[in-house]
Amino acid sequence: MRWSELWHRDAGDRSGAARLPIWIALLLIGLWGGPVGTAAAASDDYIAGYAAGLLEHEFHLSEAVVYVDQGRVAVYAKRLAAEDPAKIITALQAIPGVVHAEVQTGAGPEGAPGPGVVRAVTPKSDSKFLPRGLLVDPFHADLRWPHFGASYHSLSSGGREFSSAFGESFAVYRDAAPFNGEWELGIQAGVFGVFDTEKRSIDLINADYTFGIVASYRADKLSGLVRIRHQSSHLGDEFLLNNPQVNRINLSYEEIDLKLSYDLTTWLRVYGGVGTIVRKDPSTLGRETTQGGVELKSPWLFFGGKVRPVAYADFQTHARTNWSVGQSVMAGLQFENARIGDRKLQVLGEYYSGPSPDGQLFTQRVEWIGMGIHLWF
């Protein structure tokens, strides 16, 4: 089928007070008419309405265009955000009567489509508070990106430690923006702790507390954020008692940073940016920060669509560590059906080399390998 020959026949138009979604109307007809629904299931009108409702309510895609021709479905979305094209295709193929489905980003074919093709469009999203998801996807290998996670590390120096992360990033308000984009205002908050597992009492070594306000933007494959965040760091009481030689400092600062991200494909993403510390304690702390990274998310699923390989790498270098590079690399499996709410479960192998990411210990150099469990939006 040539999509350039598609003819516009909008199955998603609804007018007046009866703006009942087509997929609900068809469901009611099916319940009322019993076996009659089987015939309707094979029609392109039924498929287009069902698909539009699915994209709107299950995957939260606004202004997505659906074309259906003899059971063949093509979807064009302005952006997919964190939604997985493979999962959308699987859901579309489960609609009765669908023989083929494909999903692409973009505005769709130009010009008048040919006759016999049904078209449906999901509604444009209105500005709203507490929207679902984030415009800028997490930087997964960033050891200070707020989320829920736990890791066990084996240090090259011979020790072992347990690392925990408790936090979240969420959007407060989202609205339309220029260049067919969207903007949002959000909040980040997290607590990151590291514990000495070689002590019987599993002593707390260091805890970092962070809070930030984030302004984000996305237009198709390009996204970015401006963030102002606070971080303060504290050594554990038992660690100080057992290590009297350690010189505690009152580490606390506010940083403003700018980060940009670009989706090269549906499975490959790069990001990078810079920042500066605007208030600091101690006063000798270097101001400038830089960060960059790459993320790969396999387009292939395994074990019946339940498992997806992923790999992430994050690189940071800061003036406060004399521009020594911190390298964080993670790779493992994402379990598509093992979720808590909208959070995806990942089991990752981890490697880090560079200045310690633990605030009070930033002057020390560390290296480790380990395993971790993480939950991400």
In this structure, are 189 and 274 located in the same domain? Answer: yes
In this structure, are 233 and 109 located in the same domain? Answer: no
Of 66, 86, 121, which one is at a domain's C-terminal end? 121
In this structure, are 148 and 168 located in the same domain? Answer: yes
pLDDT of residue 113: 64
Query: What is the domain range of residue 274?
Result: 128-376
In this structure, are 285 and 255 located in the same domain? Answer: yes
- Select from 93, 91, 88, 90 the least CA-distant residue to 77: 88
In this structure, are 113 and 138 located in the same domain? Answer: no
In this structure, are 255 and 143 located in the same domain? Answer: yes
pLDDT of residue 341: 67
Of 121, 146, 175, which one is at a domain's C-terminal end? 121
Phi-psi region of 158 (alpha: psi -120 to 50; beta: other; left: phi over 0): left
Q: Which class for 267: exposed (0-12), middle (13-18), buried (19 or more C-beta within 10 A)?
A: middle
What are 289-345's pLDDT values in tens digits? Answer: 999 999 999 988 888 888 999 999 999 999 999 999 999 999 999 998 776 766 789
pLDDT of residue 130: 87
Amino acid at 274: V
In this structure, are 292 and 239 located in the same domain? Answer: yes
Collapsing DSSP to helix, strand or coil, 339 comes out as strand
In this structure, are 154 and 290 located in the same domain? Answer: yes
- Select from 255, 261, 358 the least CA-distant residue to 312: 261
**Sheet harboring 65-69: ordered strands across?**
100-105, 72-77, 65-69, 118-121
pLDDT of residue 289: 97
From CA 306, how far away is CA 213, in angstroms rounded?
A: 35
Site of tokens 């939260």 = 60
From CA 189, how far away is CA 187, in angstroms rounded?
A: 7
Q: What pairing do the DSSP bridges indicate for beta strands 72-77 and 100-105?
A: parallel
In this structure, are 88 and 203 located in the same domain? Answer: no
From CA 261, how far away is CA 268, in angstroms rounded?
A: 11
Pair 85, 76: CB distance under 8 Å: no
What are 252-268's pLDDT values in tens digits? Answer: 999 999 999 999 988 99
In this structure, are 211 and 325 located in the same domain? Answer: yes
From CA 42, how far away is CA 38, in angstroms rounded?
A: 7
Of 121, 156, 185, which one is at a domain's C-terminal end? 121
Amino acid at 52: A
pLDDT of residue 225: 98
In this structure, are 178 and 263 located in the same domain? Answer: yes
Q: What parts of the chain have a pLDDT lower than 50?
A: 1-20, 22-41
pLDDT of residue 20: 43
pLDDT of residue 338: 72
CATH of the domain at 159: 2.40.160.40
In this structure, are 226 and 319 located in the same domain? Answer: yes
The structural domain count of the chain equals 2
pLDDT of residue 7: 39
